């Protein structure tokens, strides 16, 4: 299974953290349900064209956080996470993305009113599409 992970090498956020946060979001959002096997460290490292050490660190953090479990000789699997953790991850993920979008808009010298206008237009377009 190839994970839909997109890395930004220009980001100030470490690569392992980007991977960790994206896998958390995939789990909390239901894209990766409980007991789904994850790619091995080597396979994911090859897919993302990064070091296996980076993937190992992300997987270790995910295991410590209760998102995945590793079974010796069998692989790494998504754990069942409780509703509170799912909600927390969803809220943090959406909040982080909106903060990044607002920061980007301010870097392009948009006013608060212009940012709010863009936000409302995006929501309206999304609602019409769905």
- Residues near 86 by beta carbon (within 8 Å), at least 6 away in sequence: 27, 28
- Residues near 63 by beta carbon (within 8 Å), at least 6 away in sequence: 69, 70
Give the Cα separation of 102 and 79 in Å (integer): 33
Instruction: Return the pLDDT at 9.
Output: 85
Q: What is the pLDDT along the chain (130 residues), one digit of tens a residue?
A: 789 999 998 888 999 999 999 999 999 999 999 999 999 999 999 999 999 999 999 999 999 999 999 999 999 999 999 999 999 999 998 998 999 999 999 999 999 999 999 999 999 999 999 8
Which pTM value belongs to this model? 0.81
């Amino acid at each position: 299974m190839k994970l839909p992970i997109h890395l930004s090498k220009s980001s100030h956020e470490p690569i392992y953290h980007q991977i960790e946060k994206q896998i958390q979001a995939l789990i909390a959002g239901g894209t990766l349900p409980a007991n789904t096997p994850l790619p091995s460290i080597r396979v994911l490292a090859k897919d993302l064209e990064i070091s296996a050490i980076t993937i190992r660190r992300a997987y270790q953090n995910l295991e410590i956080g209760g998102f995945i479990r590793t079974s010796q000789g069998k692989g790494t699997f998504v754990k069942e996470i409780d509703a509170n953790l799912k909600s927390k991850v969803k809220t943090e993920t959406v909040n982080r993305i909106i903060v990044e979008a607002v920061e980007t808009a301010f870097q392009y010298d948009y006013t608060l009113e212009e940012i709010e206008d863009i936000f409302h237009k995006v929501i309206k377009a999304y609602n019409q599409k769905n």
